[in-house]
Each structure stands twice: as C-alpha cells, then as structure tokens.
Homo-oligomer: A and B are copies of this chain.
C-alpha cells in the first residue's frame, strides 16, 4: 500500500470530486437547512426554493451515499421518511455555513464590483 496524501489539485485525487460535491449550492443549502434537525423530503424541497424534484432526489441520494446524511424510514402508515445529518454531516455544516455567511455578508461588495467591471468593459 502506497502512502496517500489527499490533494485536490491533483486531477486524479478523489478529493477533487468531493470538493465539487460539498461546494455545490444544493449541498450547502440542504446541509444548512438540516442543521436544525431532521426533515422530510417535501419539507426540504419547500425550504430550498427552486430545486427540482429530480435534483433534490439526486442530491439527497448522493449525500446519503457519501455518509453526510442518513435516510430514516419510520414504519408508519403512510411510511414517514426523514433525512438528517450524520456526525460527518454535522462536521461539514460548519464550513458550509461559513460559505453561506460569506455570500450574505459580501453580496453588496460583489455587486458593486460587477457594476464597476461592466461599466469599464
């Protein structure tokens, strides 16, 4: 077994693809909204405005596969399915919330920069 130092700058390193997944806007918003506790599929879709059913299904499945979310089915009639953060997911929630906070805090400066750029072009 060769030693392995993860390096997302290496195109063949799996961290590259992981980085793409965790930085995805849907991941940021879904993990963020599950920070308050487990939610059903429809409730997640209601909170993350504008996500399609297909994208929500795909993203949730990928996050469950990555060990970031857990899917729990309760044997009720009708069956209740909820998604919640795993320990790994809770650990990810912190850097992701920093990213969302950054976007909220600096949107004004970014918009000024864009207007200035567009005027100069």
Query: Could you tell me which A residues sit within 8 Å of B by CB distance?
Result: 6-11, 14-16, 18-20, 22-25, 27-29, 33, 47-50, 64-68, 88, 91-92, 94-96, 98-100, 102-104, 106-107, 109-114, 116-118
Contacts and interface: CB of A to CB of B under 8 A. Distances in A.
A-side binding surface: helix, strand, loop or mixed? helix
A9 B110 contact: no
Copies of this protein chain in the complex: 2
Contacts of A47: 9
Contact of A104 (B8, B49, B66, B107): B8
Interchain residue pairs A-B with the least CB separation, the first 8: A67-B113, A23-B23, A11-B50, A95-B98, A11-B49, A6-B104, A20-B25, A65-B117
Contacts of A48: 9
Given A49-B9, A104-B6, A64 B19 contact: no
Contacts of A28: 8, 19, 23
Given A9-B49, A10-B49, A109-B67, A103 B29 contact: no
